[in-house]
Amino acid sequence: MNEKPSDVRLRSRVWSVLRALVFVCVIFFIWNGMAKTACAFVAIALIMGWVNLYQLRCQEIEKPYYRLWLNVIDGFLSFAVMTSIFVRDLMQNEHAEKLLGVGCAVLLARLIAHTLFSLGVLREGKSLPRKRRWSKMASIATTITMAVYLLNLEDYQQICMVATILLIAASTVAYAYWYYRDPAHRKPLSIASQLTMSRIVLTPFFLWVFFYDNDLDYSNNSLVFKVLALAMVLGFMLTDFLDGKLARAMGEVSTLGKYLDPFSDKISNMTIFMCFIATGYAPVWMVALIYFRESSVETLRTLAASEGLIMPARRSGKWKTALQGIGIVAILLGAIDPVRAFVPGLGDIWDIFPKIVMGIITAITIISGIDYFVSSKHILKKFV
C-alpha cells in the first residue's frame, strides 16, 4: 500500500532534522579536539544526505518554503563545520590552508545567493527547481572534503577542495541558467546592479589575495599581491561611485539596488576590517563598534520598511562610507614598502599609523550611527 505524501514528508523532515543535529555534533567534536569522532559523524551525515536525496526523495515531495529553509539550514551548517575546521587550523598552526578559507567564502556566497534567488522565485509564484546532478555532487563533495580536512590528509586536501569549489561553481551556473532562461522570472539585471553585485562576488577573492602567503602578517606578503589588494579596493570604491550614478542616469533605480548597494558596501568593508584585525592593523573593539553601528542602522532600516516607511540615506552616512574607503586605501598604500619609504616620516610612525586611521574611521562611523538614530525618532516611537 502506498504511503500518504504527508507521511513521507514528515519522515523526510525528521530525517533532515536528525542530519542537522549530526552536523551540530560535528562542530562540538571539532572544538573539543575529537577529530576522528567528528569525522565519523561526518560519514553519518554523508549517508543520511544520500538517503534523503535518493531514497526519501525529499526534493520531490517537500513543500517549497520548507524545502528552501531546510536547504538553508543544511548549507549554513556545512559552512559552520568548514569554518570551524579553518579556525581550528588557524589556532593550532597559525598557517591554515588558504584554499580552505577560500572554500569557506565560496560556501557562504553560494548560501546567500541561493537563498536570495530562491526567495525571489517563490515570491513570484514560481516553483523551485529540484536539486540537479551538479548540486547533489557538490553537496556530497563538500561533506567528503570535511572528512579529509578533519583527518589531516594533506595529500588530498587541495584536490578535494578544488573539486568541491568547481562543483559548487558548476551547480551555481546550472541554477543561474535555469533561472534566467525564462524571461518571465525576472528582467535582466541592470548595469548598475551588476556593478554592485561585483563587489559581493569579488570580496572572497580579496581574502585570498590578502592572505596569499598563508601568513597573518600582511607586511610579509608579496609586493604583487599588495598592489593587487589595493587595486581591488580602488575597484570597490569605483563601482560604488558608478552604480548609483548609472542607475539615476539610465533611469534604472530599483528597490533591489537600494538594498543591494549598502549591503555590498558592508560585506566588502567588514571583510577588509576583519583582515586588518588578523594582521594587527586594527584592534577588535574598533571593528566591533563599526559592526555594531552597521547592524543597528540596518535593523532600523528593516523596522522602517516593515511600517512602509523609507529611511533615506543621510549625508553623514555618505561621508562615513567615503572615509572608510579612503582610510582603507591609506592603510593598504602605506603597507607597500616603496611607498612607505617614499613618504617622509611614514616609516617612523607606521607601527601606529593603521590604528590611528582606524580610530578616526571608528569615531566617524559611530557619529554617523547616532545621526541616523536621532533623525529616525519617528520610526523608533512606533516600536518603543
Question: Which architecture does CATH list for 1-188?
Answer: Up-down Bundle (1.20)
CATH 1.20.120, the chain: domain bounds: 1-188, 189-384
Cα(349)–Cα(189) distance, rounded to whole angstroms?
46
- Band of residue 321 on the pLDDT scale cut at 50, 70, 90: confident
At residue 370, what is the residue type? I
Q: What are phi and psi of 28, to 5 degrees?
A: -60, -45
Question: From CA 349, how far away is CA 356, in angstroms rounded?
Answer: 10
| Cell numbers found for residue 383 | 516600536
The pair phi, psi for residue 204, each rounded to 5°, is -60, -30
Burial degree of 285 (CB within 10 A; 0-12, 13-18, 19+): exposed
List pLDDT tens digits, range 182-194. 555 445 566 777 7
Neighbours of 61 (CB within 10 A): 14
* The domain defined by 189-384 carries CATH number 1.10.287: no
Mean pLDDT confidence for 328-353 = 86
pLDDT score at 1:
44
Instruction: Please give the Cα distance from 16 to 11 (Å, whole number).
Output: 9
Report the SS3 class of residue 29.
helix
Cβ contact 293:368 at 8 Å: yes
The per-residue pLDDT for range 85-130, each reduced to its tens digit, is 888 777 776 555 677 878 888 888 878 777 777 777 777 666 666 6
Asked whether residue 58 carries a pLDDT value surpassing 70, the answer given is no
Contact status, residue 31 vs residue 88, Cβ threshold 8 Å: yes
Tell which residue, 317, 266, 323, 262, has the closest CA to residue 291: 266
Q: Mean of the per-residue pLDDT values for the chain?
A: 78
The pLDDT of 190-219, averaged and rounded, is 78
Q: Which residue has the cell 524545502?
A: 67
Task: Work out the number of other CB atoms within 10 angstroms of the CB of residue 106.
Answer: 20
Mean pLDDT value across residues 355-365: 94
